[in-house]
Chains A and B, each alone.
Chain A
Amino acid sequence: MKTNDVILKTTAQVVFFIIFLFSIHIFLAGHFAPGGGFVGGLLTSSALVLLLLAYDLKTVQTLLPINYTIMTASGLVLALGTASIGMFLGRPFFKHYFDHFYLPLIGDTELHTAMLFDTGVYLVVVGVTMTIIQSIGGDD
């Protein structure tokens, strides 16, 4: 019997963006407030899981045609690449650089290579979580 869960689907559409934006917020705020790549990634995937619950696997894949394996790999490459920057500049592995810049619209901003590393962590976490959930969910 096919149930018509219109309330769930409609709510999911709205809530997805709220959770997603919150996860991005937590991710970006990581350096100064609680949060960071790990929690951010987990929250993002929970937003995706909500979509999976409301719709089905196929629909979500057509909506967001992301290959999570490649996402995991690129996260690892990004993290490793960031960590290696120092080596190309004659400094030890894992040397981070940061400075304050004046960006249009946003104003005085601190840009930090640790953020790139955290992005790597974020991508890996989202990639792995989604890989696990999709592969287990898609298994019969």
Chain B
Amino acid sequence: MVQVLFIFIPIIAAIFIPVLFKKVRGLHTGWFVLIVPVVLAAIYASYISQVMHGETIVSEVNWIPSLGISFISYIDGLSLLFSLLITGIGALVVLYSIFYLDRSREQLHNFYVYLLMFMSAMLGVVQSDHLISLYLFWELTSISSFLLIGYWYDRDRSRFGALKSMMITVFGGLMMLGGFVLLSIMGETYSIRELIAQAPTLASHEWFTLSLVLILLGAFTKSAQFPFYIWLPDAMEAPTPVSAYLHSATMVKAGIYLVARLTPIFAISETWVWLVMGVGLFTLFWGSFFAVKQTDLKGILAFSTVSQLGLIMSLLGASAVAFHVDQAQDTVFKFAAFAAIFHLINHATFKGSLFMIAGIVDHETGTRDIRKLGGLMSIMPISFTVAAIGSLSMAGVPPFNGFLSKEMFLTSMLAMKDFNILAMDTWGAVFPIVAWIASVFTFVYSFYFVFKTFTGKYKPELLPKKAHEAPIGMLISPILLASLVVIIFFIPNIIGDVFVKPAVLAIQPFLYDSASDIPIHVSAWHGFKPELFMTLGIFVVGFLLYLTIAKWQKLYKIMPDWLSLNRLYDRFMTFLDKDLNRFSKLYMTGSIRNYLIYMFAFIVAITIGTLFAKDAFTFSMEGTAPIRFYEIIIILVLVISTITVLFSKSRLTAIIALGSVGYTVALFFVIFNAPDLALTQLVIETVSVALFLLAFYHLPKVSRHEERIGFRLNNFIIALGVGIMVTLVALSAQSQKLVPSITEYYKETVNTLAGGGNIVNVILVDYRGFDTLFEITVLSIAGMAILGMIKLRLSRKENEHENK
């Protein structure tokens, strides 16, 4: 109960932020906000000792009990790790933002409300054990991310980036919801724990692969995997604290979390392994390759994030392979899940610090364009140190934590070719090669990022501001993160035992019984293994490429712009907007005639189709009355008048012919023994003919030419179709009466119960007087409407006033 409430603490705190912002003007609002993540981080840190030993902590609050929907906070190694990342980096980001955002110029109350909302959402995502509440929090992260990216909403690029990220992540979120629903139908439970428990039976279900693909779509869009990564570079329009927090450390890892969390369910499927690993590796390569093309500091970091997320994703895919191997604990596959989680921690530390440095550079020099920057090393020594530590760690250079996880990544990828099922023996060799090339580019862009910015020639004439070192408050957070980068390198096994192994247990429960069973010991030096030579190769080739970067960077210009995924997205958005609009205009012509054609055509098609599909069309002459002579005569008159209506040249003829149709119908009522109907029909027909004549008399003189109705084949076919349809339905209904009529009851009781003799009238006023009541209401409304239309002419009145 209490534990679930912890998730909501940030959102509850957000309620007070606007008040604090308005009332306490002297102090930066961020200081109040800072309390929340710090307290939460302390709370979650207190769980560490329990979770380290493989314990899990569950707490539940019912939300909609009748539908089985509840908030379940489930804390195991994986969710605790993420919760600590969210609150810990959250605290650092809030601290950083206090110095980054100006108190008097920025709308801080908006910023911190969104940020706290996001924090709650993210905690909810990683702790929810319930699929529906997980989805709820998932979409809340999308919404708060949308708000944060569009924080400077008066800028065009911000709004564009916010919309783009919203479109893509919400698309993925909805797909994921579909996957969740399928999963919950298959397993008959919403609880992820219970689904994991029955994972083997789920795999044989026909929807298994479908739900797998849908859920992966959600994870890939959120974690910016290929080809959905395109929103992330545009999301860089957000304030830098947001980019550091959402778009490097937390939200983009929600997809990673989802894949890790559901690995025990889906690892059994080959599709999962191939999709997760393949897409992850390709994203790794693609992101690192295009990072070098960027000229914006945050653009480089965005592509680098995409690439690193691909790396983690591919490792998670590889960790699913372990499910298919016997005795996986003893093989090299054991590294994959460990490396994924370890790199996730490392990435959060170095990427967070790099984003903050990019923000500092932007803040202190006024630009993020790497072409204008250079030679800042002596001006901003602390920033440079931090940036160098982060970049070198990202490049995988010792003595930083990125080196360790990169080594384990290479180990896992090298292991792929030893693996002889799922067609890995033929394709397995591709993985280490792609991984190696991607690592080379990672090395290049890491160097590109830090050395192009801080070394070289200082160009003060290009900078909008005079560069100087950032205030210390802004530097605290990146320094802390950078020192973590170094510390983790020296104590990887403590981090491994405390954080990584419990998380690995959650990813691979099919391998281990408890966290201490995981037989992995990280060491910086592990002998002359192939991965060591690969790393050396990365350093050498990467360094050479970096030195010659000016020569080959032009290569990127070869690729035409219209081939890019961004252009594809833009095309799609214009398609949705303009092209679909044009398409609607094709059939929404505004002409009633066309709409009537659609309606009639569809009614005819559906009805006749149904008649034949259901084989409902029968024709029997049984029970029909004999045809009498005067019926034939009346029908002839009726047909002749109808044809006259259609082919008359003058409207007056048509009106009179229509009147003749009406009177003939009255005659029919007479011969079919319906005196009441005949009476009414006669009078009503007279009135309506008189009204028609009135309308005819008032036709405008100008365009009043007498001519026949023109022949149109469309109209003819549709009219014929409607006629045939009605005839068929009538014949079919006449031939298959299923129940006897209720008439007998009326006949028997008309005098005894209702005290009358005229059945028609008694039905009208007594048996079914309700209808009559509302029919006279309809009549009154019609009368009042005519009165209103004639008497109330505002437009004419206004004109009169104008003329005066």
Contacts and interface: CB of A to CB of B under 8 A. Distances in A.
Interface of A: 26, 30-39, 42-43, 46, 69, 72-73, 75-76, 79-80, 83, 93-94, 96, 98, 110, 112, 114, 117-118, 120-121, 124-125, 127-129, 131-132, 135-136, 139
Nearest to A72: B780
How large, as a class, is the contact surface on chain B? 35 or more
B683 A31 contact: no
B421 interface: no
A118 B683 CA distance: 18
A42 B770 contact: no
Nearest to B791: A135
Given A96-B766, A136-B786, A125 B776 contact: yes
Given A39-B676, A42-B680, A30 B758 contact: yes
B790 A129 contact: no
A93 to B, nearest CB: 8
A128 B783 contact: yes
B773 A132 contact: no
B666 to A, nearest CB: 12
Interface of B: 675-676, 679-680, 683-684, 686-687, 691, 694, 754-758, 760-762, 764-766, 769-770, 772-773, 776-777, 779-780, 782-784, 786-787, 790-791
A135 B787 CA distance: 6
Nearest to A112: B755
A107 B25 CA distance: 95
Contacts, number: 118
Nearest to B675: A34
Contacts of A132: 782-783, 786-787
Given A42-B684, A94-B770, A31 B779 contact: no
Contact of A121 (B675, B755, B765): B765
Contacts of A139: 790
B790 A136 contact: yes
Given A117-B765, A125-B776, A33 B786 contact: no
B783 A131 contact: yes
B776 A76 contact: yes
A35 B762 CA distance: 11
B680 A39 contact: yes
Across the A-B interface, give the 9 residue pairs with the lowest CB-CB distance, nearest first: A128-B783, A32-B757, A34-B675, A98-B755, A31-B756, A36-B761, A124-B776, A42-B683, A114-B765
A89 B52 CA distance: 77
B516 to A, nearest CB: 77
Nearest to A114: B765
Nearest to A99: B755
Contacts of A129: 687, 783
A118 B763 CA distance: 12
Contacts of B776: 75-76, 79, 120-121, 124-125
6 contacts: A32-B757, A39-B679, A83-B773, A112-B756, A120-B776, A135-B787
Given A124-B776, A125-B779, A139-B790, 18 more contacts: A30-B758, A34-B675, A35-B679, A35-B761, A36-B758, A37-B765, A39-B676, A42-B680, A42-B683, A76-B777, A96-B769, A117-B765, A117-B769, A121-B776, A128-B779, A132-B782, A132-B787, A135-B790
B683 A43 contact: yes
A83 B760 CA distance: 18
A38 to B, nearest CB: 6
Nearest to A30: B761
Contacts of B754: 96, 98, 114
A123 to B, nearest CB: 9
Contact of A128 (B683, B691, B761, B782): B782
The residue among B686, B757, B758 with the most chain A CB atoms within 10 A of its own CB is: B758
A32 B760 CA distance: 10
Contacts of B694: 136
A36 B783 CA distance: 21
A131 B755 CA distance: 34
B705 to A, nearest CB: 26
A131 B769 CA distance: 24
Contacts of B772: 79, 117, 121
Nearest to A73: B780
Nearest to B762: A31
Nearest to B686: A46
A110 B192 CA distance: 76
A57 to B, nearest CB: 14
Contacts of A83: 769-770, 773
The residue among A75, A79, A120, A127 with the most chain B CB atoms within 10 A of its own CB is: A79
A32 B757 CA distance: 4
Contact of A31 (B686, B757, B777, B791): B757
Nearest to A38: B680
Nearest to B757: A32
A31 B786 contact: no
Contact of A35 (B676, B766, B773, B787): B676
A100 B582 CA distance: 73
Nearest to B793: A139
B786 A32 contact: no
Contacts of A73: 780
Nearest to B769: A94
A80 B783 contact: no
A135 B786 CA distance: 8
Contacts of B675: 34
A124 B764 contact: no
A84 to B, nearest CB: 10
Contacts of A136: 691, 694, 786, 790
A118 to B, nearest CB: 5
A114 B765 CA distance: 6
A74 B775 CA distance: 15
A46 B790 contact: no
A32 B758 contact: yes
A31 B790 contact: no
A25 B414 CA distance: 106
Contacts of B679: 26, 34-35, 39
Contacts of A35: 676, 679, 758, 761
B758 A31 contact: yes
A112 B755 CA distance: 8
A37 B784 CA distance: 20
Contact of A127 (B683, B783, B790): B783
A136 B761 CA distance: 31
Contacts of B756: 31-32, 112, 114
Contacts of A96: 754, 765-766, 769
Nearest to A75: B776
A113 to B, nearest CB: 9
A69 B785 CA distance: 12
A90 B755 CA distance: 21
A34 B782 contact: no
